[in-house]
Amino acid sequence: MLRTIRIAAVALCASLIAFTAGARDREVTIGLQAAITSIDPHYHNLSPNNGMLQQIFEPLIRRDENMKLVPCLATSWKALDDLTWEFKLRKGVHFHDGSPFTAEDVAFTLKRVPNVPNSPSSFATFTKPIVDVKIVDPYTIVFKTATPHVLLPSDMAAVLIVSKKNGENATTEDYNSGKAAIGTGPYKFKEYVPNQRVVLTANYGYWGGEEPWDKVMFKILSNPAARVAALLSGDVQMIENVPTADLAQVRKDKRFHVVDKVSNRVIYVHMQQGSDQCPPGVTDKSGNPLAHNPFRDPRVRKALSIAINRDAIAQRIMEGQAVPAGQLLPDFFFGTSKKLKPPKYDPEAAKKLLAEAGYPNGFALTIYGPNNRYINDEKVAQAIAQFYSRIGIDAKVQTFPSSVYFTRASKLEFGYMLLGWGTESGEQGSSLRSLLATHDPKKGMGVTNRARYSNPKLDQLIEQAMETIDDSKREKLIQQAAELAMGDTALIPIHYEVSNWATAAAYRYTPRTDQYTLAMGLRPAR
Amino acid sequence: MAAYALRRLGQSLLVLALMSFLVFVGVYAIGNPIELLVNPEADDAERARAAQALGLDKPLLVQYGVFLLHAAKGDLGRSFVYNIPAIQLILQRLPATLELALTATVIAILIGIPLGLVAGLKPDSWIGRSIMAGSIVGFSLPTFWVGLVLIMVFSVQLGWLPPNGRGATVSLLGVPVSFLTLDGLRHLAMPALNLALLKLSLLIRLTRAGTRETVLQDYVKFARAKGLPMRRVVGVHVLKNIMIPIVTVIGLELGSVIAFAIVTESIFAWPGTGKLLIDSINQLDRPVIVAYLLVIVAIFIVINFVVDVLYSLLDPRVRIGSAAPAH
Amino acid sequence: MRIAADRAPLEDGRAVRAESPWRRFAAEFAQSRLALLGLALLVLLAAVAIAAPWIAPQNPYDLAQLDVLDSRLPPGSESLAGKTYWLGTDDQGRDMLSAILFGLRISLTVGVASTVAALALGLALGLAAAYFGGWLDAAIMRIADIQLSFPAILIALILLAALGQGVGKIIVALVTVQWAYYARTVRSAALVERQKEYVEAAKVLALPEARIVFRHILPNCLPPLIVVATVQVAHAISLEATLSFLGLGLPITEPSLGLLIANGFQYLLSGKYWISFYPGIALLVTIMAINLVADQLRDVLNPRLKR
């Protein structure tokens, strides 16, 4: 009798242990770098938010890990003519509260997007081109635009669909509290504590198949050392953005697995050339302004580009977490040109070009840059200065926190400025339009063209591309534009940032080029 | 007494108003929050809309006026970034900071006063001298560097303590605290010790000076002559006498401990208000910066007031109202 | 210690004979071996800082002399050019030894310059408050009170966030948080002096006010000021280092000790300790030397501790 009880007890204990172990295995904790500022998918157009909320809500069209557009809530889409787009919606999809997803929800979402109070950065940018929405049947919806809008499918990938039933009159607070945070995604919202954590639980009836995790906790660990320490101590099973300083060590460690992928963010230099007046931070070697703006001379721009040893920066400063750049996006993206390789490091040729341009002895240059925005930004600026000092330029570096830097850069207080650009549309056309088209913010052209570079031929190519719905024709135009701009060294591309993720050895993450950290990409290792 | 309290309150409100105005001008001088918040692909119309949504389209003085109006009703504004009342963000994090500051103060008291007593009673012995030399070292060590060395030794080399973050919390009277769990204590140990070090040195010096003065007083000599054991003399007579200045200083320094927690919090990634302040400065989240300062200043004012009152209770020679102590 | 201090001049005939105030001060200061050690260290550090451009193996501010390919080498490594980096290099390939020497220079400059400026400002305001009294006194002292009731670090932090980076700016911030100590010290010392007979006498003699203030009151306020000033130099250096550590102090290309430490912080977990450890030692020794000197100065100059 006693024996049986003992055996039963042991068996019970064993099964309990097995059970809890199983339950534990289906829970993961992930360390994020950047804070999530809201659960309202239409409140703040901010990359960390957009990634997080994709797990709860879904767009009509999704981007895969290479930022290619793939069907999601829409099964297909096509342009009926230059101004009309038709979307066929997925049937049998349910929101987390069980209500079915239909075209009504899409129409409701498009109406809500421009009307979120206090939004610091609205998603209206993506819905503005749509002037009319027509529900054909519960699973077909048609959008009308005023002018040809080629990026419409790409824009639809940025707009997450909320439920009409739960979303009517819902405020940002209602989303943060979870009351309205009801989507169609693979995870349900559980808890949000600003600046500390977000907790999600599995949506067992998900149309795309069940996820391997019952519960996913995202912890905000913005301090890089804290993030690494949390991984090392087993506090979290995955972190994003292992700082370059610790990368070698984590890679060596058998307990962990690191994956990385080149991102859609390019680090580049804008050289202010709006007028012939000598720009800020450029002087002769005794500190007097130059007679002309040297950046207006393409030979000077080219010299400044080939004087940079991009490989050394990628290897030594970035510890391999960067790929030298020759255009604005890595060459597997839409609209990139295979002909545009990273400019070769050639200080001798650079010196010659400077001499030809009338600066045989160089000049003095202040390199401006941020110190807390991009990976190792401050160090990259210093390394560039080192290379310039070898071609006879007296280079100094001045860096600012991004709170100060971007305001001053936009006021054109800098001549030579280190900047970064992530192309969210995944098309080189949109980065060319924002960074290098002639500055005309009313038209949405050259909105971030802090160089004030202006080239009518380039403008024409970009505008033409933006009106060409046919993908292959458009791609040719964008490639042409990119080759023109890079051939003129309109800006100096330095490198594409590589993003990395480190997991415990028992897990694998599918790295993404849009830098999102998604539970859907995390799987047990085989 | 009431008149004194009222006058202090009036002065404090003035300070608060002045402080918040300076922050408004300061943040305005640093940069434009819109540049950081709005998506860089946004056109002019979107920028204008965002500025209007956050109330940043009005002239600075008008913005300040609006702030004062709301503040008078107890509304310190919403975070630009989170769209959550700023005060809520701060109150969420205040327990972590207070826990750190109080633990540091307790450590400083528990170690500082006994060491100071020993150094004061035996000033010329090797132990007294070593304590004093140690306090000079403690005084000289920059807080952040000690933090680094602690992490290097106890986390990286020995692997005994977690290098950063706050441990598991339990709710005590509705306030989440971490010092009641083992995990919490392990996380708390290094930051608290780090923060305590400066105050520890200060307390050693203060206690020693007080002790040295007191042991020469007639009544202590008397007590010794009466044959009272040294332990009793020290425990009752000396300690009682030196407590007045020590209590004052501990009270006053509590404010500076809370402020200095900014440094410790950023080294140990402690999720307190100091880190929130640094983050908010980086993001130009003005409502949170202003609210943080107002909350901290309010805490200082309360502490100062309590210390003044305590002082007058402990030392009947001080009359509140007529001659307020120098602090 | 005290007894010894009392006896020394009596036993030593020469000391008694040559008892000028300066000599006596020096003799009393020398009573503490620890303080002498501090003074010696301080002189050495100052000399090294001043001579840095001539004795450092490399000019760490000259980017042409740095090579990214030499970055993060451990102490004792050889550079591509065959030089030895005795204390290793940082992430830009900067020789740590040179960087520490130059950093020391900046740290000391910032500490001394801000202290002198704050001293001058505090002295002027404190004297004015004590001498003229009335509303001026009330106004100055109220401002000083408010200022002192806030932790220096908080004020400096907000100020620098608004001002931006730079040696000049950090000095402005440090002066702003320090002047009140001096103003208050001077005022209380001056108030005591004002009541004394010799000032009354000078007034009766109708000497010009400026002369009374500068020739009579000021010299007598100096001892406590010197003590406060020495302590504050150490404070200023420490505060600058802290602010730089938080990213609000000096520009990255001309690092002070604090900034060097901050730079190395991120390499700590991966075991590249030298980038932040050695600058930390330099900072610690500097501040400690100053504090040792200040401690003894306080004992020597404080009339209340006189027998």
Using one digit for the tens of pLDDT, what is the confidence trace for C277-290? 899 899 989 988 99
CB contact (8 A) between residue B133 and residue C151: no
* Residues B159-189: tens digit of each pLDDT: 888 877 788 788 787 778 888 888 888 889 9
The average pLDDT across C49-53 equals: 91
CA C276 to chain centre: 22
What does DSSP say about strands A416-422 and A256-271: parallel, antiparallel, or unpaired? antiparallel
DSSP tag of A202: E
Mean pLDDT of chain C: 81
Cα separation, A200 vs A183, in Å, equals 12
Could you identify the residue written with the tokens 């005939």?
C13
Could you identify the residue written with the tokens 């959550």?
B84
Q: Are A295 and A277 in contact, with CB atoms under 8 Å apart? A: no
DSSP C214-264: IIIIHHHHHHHHHHHHHHHHHHHHHHHHHHHHTT-SS-TTS--HHHHHHHH
Report the half-sphere exposure of B160 (CA within 13 A, side-chain side).
10
Q: Is the predicted pLDDT of residue C17 greater than 60, yes or no?
A: no
Q: Are B178 and B169 in contact, with CB atoms under 8 Å apart? A: yes
In this prediction, residue C302 carries a pLDDT of 63
CA C107 to chain centre: 9
Cα separation, A159 vs A425, in Å, equals 12
Q: Are C145 and C129 in contact, with CB atoms under 8 Å apart? A: no
Q: Is the predicted pLDDT of residue B318 greater than 70, yes or no?
A: no
pTM for the whole structure: 0.85
CB contact (8 A) between residue C92 and residue A382: yes
Cα separation, B221 vs B218, in Å, equals 5
For residue C15, what are the CA distances in angstroms to A3, B323, C300?
96, 46, 16
Q: Does B84 touch chain A (CB under 8 A)?
A: yes
| Residue type, position B243, single letter | M
**Coil vs helix vs strand at A477:** helix
Q: Are C294 and C227 in contact, with CB atoms under 8 Å apart? A: yes
In this prediction, residue A64 carries a pLDDT of 94
Mutation target among A171, A447, A450, A462 for the B interface, most CBs of B within 10 A: A447
Cα separation, C36 vs C295, in Å, equals 11
In this prediction, residue A37 carries a pLDDT of 93
CB contact (8 A) between residue C63 and residue A386: yes
Mutation target among A246, A250, A345 for the C interface, most CBs of C within 10 A: A246
| Residue type, position C185, single letter | T
Q: Please tell me which residue of chain C has the smallest CA distance to B145.
A: C280
Q: Are A377 and A370 in contact, with CB atoms under 8 Å apart? A: yes
CB contact (8 A) between residue B145 and residue C295: no
* Residues A366-379: tens digit of each pLDDT: 999 998 899 999 99
In this prediction, residue A363 carries a pLDDT of 96
CB contact (8 A) between residue C153 and residue B22: no
pLDDT tier, B199 (very low <50, low <70, confident <90, very high otherwise)? confident
B226-259 per-residue burial string, b: 16 or more CB within 10 A, e: under 16: eeeeeeebbeebbbebbebbbebbbbbbbbbbbb
CB contact (8 A) between residue C268 and residue B148: yes
Could you identify the residue written with the tokens 């400083």?
B108
Residues of chain A with Cβ-Cβ distance to C66 below 8 Å are 386
Mutation target among B124, B132, B144, B156 for the C interface, most CBs of C within 10 A: B144
Q: Please tell me which residue of chain B has the smallest CA distance to A423.
A: B41
Cα separation, A369 vs A409, in Å, equals 9
Using CB atoms and an 8 Å cut-off, which of residues 175-234 of chain A contact chain B?
A: 176, 193-196, 221-223, 225-226, 229-230, 233
pLDDT tier, C298 (very low <50, low <70, confident <90, very high otherwise)? confident
Q: Which residues pair with A201 in a beta bridge?
A: A188, A215
In this prediction, residue B236 carries a pLDDT of 74
Q: Are B6 and B326 in contact, with CB atoms under 8 Å apart? A: no
pLDDT tier, B137 (very low <50, low <70, confident <90, very high otherwise)? confident
Taking residue B72's Cβ as centre, other Cβ atoms within 10 Å add up to 8
Is the ipTM reported for this complex over the cut 0.95?
no
pLDDT tier, C245 (very low <50, low <70, confident <90, very high otherwise)? confident
Cα separation, C19 vs A392, in Å, equals 63
In this prediction, residue B281 carries a pLDDT of 84
A321-325, A416-420, B16-20, B201-205: lowest mean pLDDT where?
A: B16-20
Q: Which residues pair with A30 in a beta bridge?
A: A218, A238
Q: Are A173 and A489 in contact, with CB atoms under 8 Å apart? A: no
A169-202 per-residue burial string, b: 16 or more CB within 10 A, e: under 16: ebbbebbbeeebbbbbbbbbbeebebbbbbbbbb
* Rounded to 5°, angle at Cα B41 from B35 and B43: 80
Percentages of chain B per state (helix, strand, coil), in multiples of 5: 75, 0, 25
Q: How far is C82 from chain B (nearest CA, A)?
A: 31
Q: Which H helix or E strand runs over A508?
A: strand A507-509
User: B101 CB contacts (<8 Å, ≥6 apart)?
Assistant: B195, B254, B257, B258, B261
DSSP-H helix ranges across A416-509? 428-436, 456-466, 471-487
Q: Please tell me which residue of chain A has the smallest CA distance to C264.
A: A245
DSSP C168-209: HHHHHHHHHHHHHHHHHHHHHHHHHHHTSHHHHHHHHTT--H
Q: Are C10 and C16 in contact, with CB atoms under 8 Å apart? A: yes
A308-345 per-residue burial string, b: 16 or more CB within 10 A, e: under 16: bbbebbbbbbbbebbbbbbbbbbbebbbbbeebebbeb
Q: Are C71 and C89 in contact, with CB atoms under 8 Å apart? A: yes
* Residues B99-125: tens digit of each pLDDT: 999 999 999 999 999 999 888 888 888
The average pLDDT across B194-214 equals: 86
In this prediction, residue A103 carries a pLDDT of 96
The average pLDDT across C98-127 equals: 92
DSSP-H helix ranges across chain B? 2-30, 33-37, 44-53, 60-72, 86-121, 126-140, 143-150, 182-215, 218-225, 230-232, 239-268, 273-283, 286-314
Q: Does B164 touch chain A (CB under 8 A)?
A: yes
Of residues C159 and A102, more confidently modeled:
A102
Q: Are A494 and A474 in contact, with CB atoms under 8 Å apart? A: no
Cα separation, C100 vs A503, in Å, equals 38
Q: Are A176 and A38 in contact, with CB atoms under 8 Å apart? A: yes
Percentage of chain B exceeding pLDDT 70: 94
In this prediction, residue B324 carries a pLDDT of 40
Q: Please tell me which residue of chain A has the smallest CA distance to C270.
A: A246
Cα separation, A196 vs C71, in Å, equals 35
Q: Does B159 touch chain A (CB under 8 A)?
A: no
Closest alpha carbon to A50 in A522, A446, A515, A437: A515
Q: Which of A38, A45, A229 sits opposite B164 (nearest CB)?
A: A229
Compute the residue count for chain C.
307
Q: Are A170 and A45 in contact, with CB atoms under 8 Å apart? A: no
Q: Is the predicted pLDDT of residue B325 greater than 50, yes or no?
A: no
Percentage of chain A exceeding pLDDT 70: 95
Q: Taking each helix axis from N to C terminus, what angle separates B86-121 and B273-283, rounded to the nearest 10 degrees?
A: 130
Mutation target among A43, A52, A119 for the B interface, most CBs of B within 10 A: A119
Q: How far is C165 from chain A (nearest CA, A)?
A: 8
Q: Are C234 and C174 in contact, with CB atoms under 8 Å apart? A: no
Q: Which residues pair with A141 in a beta bridge?
A: A87, A135
Q: Report residue A493: phi and psi, to 5°.
A: -75, 135
Q: Report residue A282: phi and psi, to 5°.
A: -120, 125
CB contact (8 A) between residue B156 and residue C269: yes
Q: Which of C91, C251, C269 sits opposite A379 (nearest CB)?
A: C91
Tens-of-pLDDT digits for all 526 residues of chain A?
Answer: 445 555 555 454 444 444 444 445 789 999 999 989 999 999 999 999 999 999 999 999 999 999 999 999 999 999 999 999 999 999 999 999 999 999 999 999 999 999 998 899 999 989 999 999 999 999 999 999 999 999 999 999 999 999 999 988 899 999 999 999 999 999 999 999 888 899 999 999 999 998 999 999 999 888 887 888 889 888 899 999 999 888 988 999 999 999 999 999 999 999 999 999 999 999 999 999 999 999 999 999 999 999 999 999 999 899 899 999 999 999 999 999 999 999 999 999 999 999 999 999 999 999 999 988 999 999 999 999 999 999 999 999 988 888 889 989 999 999 999 999 999 888 999 999 999 999 998 888 999 999 999 999 999 999 999 999 999 999 999 999 999 999 999 999 999 999 999 999 999 999 999 999 999 999 998 7
For residue C24, what are the CA distances in angstroms to B190, C5, C16, C18?
46, 11, 9, 8
Chain B adjacent subunits, 3+ CB pairs under 8 A: A, C
Residues of chain B with Cβ-Cβ distance to C146 below 8 Å are 15
Q: Are A209 and B135 in contact, with CB atoms under 8 Å apart? A: no
Q: Does A407 touch chain B (CB under 8 A)?
A: yes
Q: Does C271 touch chain B (CB under 8 A)?
A: yes
Cα separation, B255 vs B97, in Å, equals 12
Cα separation, C297 vs C305, in Å, equals 12
Q: Taking each helix axis from N to C terminus, what angle separates B2-30 and B286-314, rounded to the nearest 10 degrees?
A: 150
Of residues A514 and C298, more confidently modeled:
A514
In this prediction, residue A24 carries a pLDDT of 53
Mean pLDDT of chain B: 82
Q: Are A155 and A45 in contact, with CB atoms under 8 Å apart? A: no
DSSP-H helix ranges across A47-113? 47-53, 103-112
Report the half-sphere exposure of B83 (CA within 13 A, side-chain side).
25
Cα separation, B223 vs C297, in Å, equals 34
Taking residue A289's Cβ as centre, other Cβ atoms within 10 Å add up to 13
What does DSSP say about strands A187-193 and A197-202: parallel, antiparallel, or unpaired? antiparallel
Cα separation, B319 vs B82, in Å, equals 48
Q: Does A121 touch chain B (CB under 8 A)?
A: yes
pLDDT tier, C13 (very low <50, low <70, confident <90, very high otherwise)? very low
Q: Does A288 touch chain B (CB under 8 A)?
A: no
> In this structure, what token pair is assigned to residue A220?
């905000």
CB contact (8 A) between residue C66 and residue A316: no
Q: Does B89 touch chain A (CB under 8 A)?
A: yes
> In this structure, what token pair is assigned to residue A496?
């594409």
Q: Does C168 touch chain A (CB under 8 A)?
A: no
Closest alpha carbon to A149 in A80, A82, A70, A76: A82
Q: Does B44 touch chain A (CB under 8 A)?
A: yes
* Residues B250-307: tens digit of each pLDDT: 877 787 788 778 888 888 888 888 888 888 888 889 899 889 888 887 787 787 777 7
Q: Is the predicted pLDDT of residue B154 greater than 80, yes or no?
A: yes
